[in-house]
Amino acid sequence: MKNLIIGNWKCNPTTLKESRQLFDSVRKGAKNIKKSEVVICPPYARFLIFNFKFLKNIKIGAQNCFWEECGAYTGEVSAAMLKDIGCEYVIVGHSERRKYFNETNEIVNKKLKAIIDAKLKPILCVGETQEQRNNGETEKVLEEQISEAVKNISSPKFCESGTCIAYEPVWAIGTGNPCDYEEAQKMGLLIRKIISEIYNRPASQRFRLIYGGSVKSENAAGYIKEAGLNGLLVGGASLDAKEFLGIIKSVE
Ligand code: PGA
């Protein structure tokens, strides 16, 4: 199984020109990458500048989607629409969506189902805040986030969906304070245990588990080589082509 290296551009860059330059530099630099699947998640407003169907070495992901297929829902973009234009992945449950847009576990569940039904691959983000960690609630929070996200999704459906779970401790996102490798490995095992309790042991081995939170080229490799995880979700560092390519190359 290849590593999954995802660049989440969030609401950046502001101009089309910068977006094109960034994308082209990453695409050129990632030409001979063998061990990783590279995914870029740009804002919706940039989707049409990439000719998805002709991109060979880079896959495209969305940062969000809506759970209904179509209808009178001003401002929303459905999973089915994303599939139709050649998008392959969708991030769901990112902590910034939970915090700024009041996304609950119930909403995450509806979106996850829609993503799977549209035959897109979900990147389900889970993780605790600093306060929850300090209060010893990490395990409970992860259990709740995961079990509610996958509620009423059958085991075969989950296994065949290509779902990836991203452990993204909120305290590590955009802070320059990444989770250490040992802790990331421990949380990865906990997430696999939670999935095996919901489904079964084989299911717990069937998905990719990645880490996100202040990943840079200097710390990236350890999450894969030492902590044994299957990839990385990169925010800030994915906006700098050299840095992002450094991350990708460090795990080759
Ligand atoms: P960061 O963001 O790499 O800037 O910490 C990670 C994320 O939000 O996925």
Q: Ligand 1 centroid vs 38 CA: distance in angstroms?
A: 16
CA distance 118 to 177: 36
Both tokens assigned to 96: 């910034």
Active site residues: 94, 168
pLDDT in tens, 100-144: 999 999 999 999 999 999 999 999 999 999 999 999 999 999 999
* CB neighbour list of residue 27: distance below 8 Å, 6 or more residues apart: 55, 57, 58
Cβ-contact 150, 105 below 8 angstroms: no
- Give me the torsion for CA of 143, 100, 179, 9, rounded to 10°: 120
* pLDDT value for 101: 97
213 C-beta closer than 6 A to ligand 1: yes
Cβ-contact 39, 89 below 8 angstroms: yes
Strands, DSSP E only, in 168-221?
208-212
* pLDDT value for 10: 98
Q: Ligand 1 centroid vs 246 CA: distance in angstroms?
A: 16
pLDDT score of 145 more than 80: yes
Helix (H, G, I), strand (E, B) or coil at 103: coil
Identify the residue whose C-alpha is closest to ligand 1 atom 6.
235
What is the number of the ligand 1 atom nearest to the C-alpha of 6? 9
Identify the residue whose C-alpha is closest to ligand 1 atom 9.
235
What is the number of the ligand 1 atom nearest to the C-alpha of 174? 5
Q: Average pLDDT for residues 78-101, to the nearest whole number?
A: 96
Cβ-contact 75, 62 below 8 angstroms: no
Q: Ligand 1 centroid vs 71 CA: distance in angstroms?
A: 32
What is the number of the ligand 1 atom nearest to the C-alpha of 234? 3
Cβ-contact 16, 46 below 8 angstroms: yes
What is the number of the ligand 1 atom nearest to the C-alpha of 125? 9
User: Residue 52 — pLDDT band, cuts 50, 70, 90?
Assistant: low
User: Residue 19 — pLDDT band, cuts 50, 70, 90?
Assistant: very high
pLDDT score of 55 more than 90: no
Nearest to 101 by CA among 121, 123, 76, 79: 76
pLDDT in tens, 208-239: 999 999 999 999 999 999 999 999 999 999 99
* pLDDT value for 78: 98
Q: What is the mean pLDDT of the chain?
A: 95
CA distance 153 to 78: 19
Q: Ligand 1 centroid vs 193 CA: distance in angstroms?
A: 25
Q: Average pLDDT for residues 80-109, to the nearest whole number?
A: 96
pLDDT score of 51 more than 90: no
Q: Answer with the residue of higher pLDDT: 201 or 180.
A: 180
138 C-beta closer than 6 A to ligand 1: no
